[in-house]
A = this chain, B = another copy of it.
Amino acid sequence: MIETPVIPRVSETDGAGHINNTVIPIWFEGGRTEIFRLLTPDLQFRNWRVALVNMNVDYLAQTYFQERALVRTWVAKVGNKSFTLDEELWQGDRLCARGTATYVYFDYHAQEAQPVPAEVRRALQSHIR
């Protein structure tokens, strides 16, 4: 499990008084940096290897500006050309949101999905929930 602490920002709240729902995907993506590093060790965008194909978020409880938050990230499964992550957002003992993100292993030059290389597969599998 990868844990990423989040300090909520005023700019991430909305007029209804809580963290805006569009911020949760931003925090979840922020929690994927160590996953991205498995695929692109230098994190340089010219070597970027993933493209998102699906994102799903269940909003379970309101997320507050006033409390620190924690994003937890796991690998749910690794397919031939894609992999899926499980993600949770916590504030204290409150599970505020739960999501999945499915990426394809992508060659931006060829503009096509490619099989996940064996060593990347092994690295991803070490984060299986």
Binding site for B on A (CB under 8 A): 4, 7, 9-11, 13-18, 20-23, 25-26, 29-30, 32-33, 36, 42-45, 48, 51-59, 62, 65-66, 108
- When the two chains form the complex, which single residue of B18, B32, B51 contacts A59, counting CB atoms closer than 8 Å? B51
- Which residue of B7, B53, B66 is within 8 Å of A44 (Cβ)? B66
The answer to whether A16 touches B45, judged by C-beta atoms less than 8 angstroms apart, is: yes
Asked whether, in the complex, the Cβ of A10 is within 8 Å of the Cβ of B4, the reply is no
Given known contacts A13-B45, A14-B14, is B7 in contact with A33 (CB within 8 Å)? yes
- Nearest CB of chain B from residue A13's CB, rounded to whole Å: 4
List of B residues within 8 angstroms of A53 by Cβ: 58-59
B56 touches A15 (CB 8 A): no
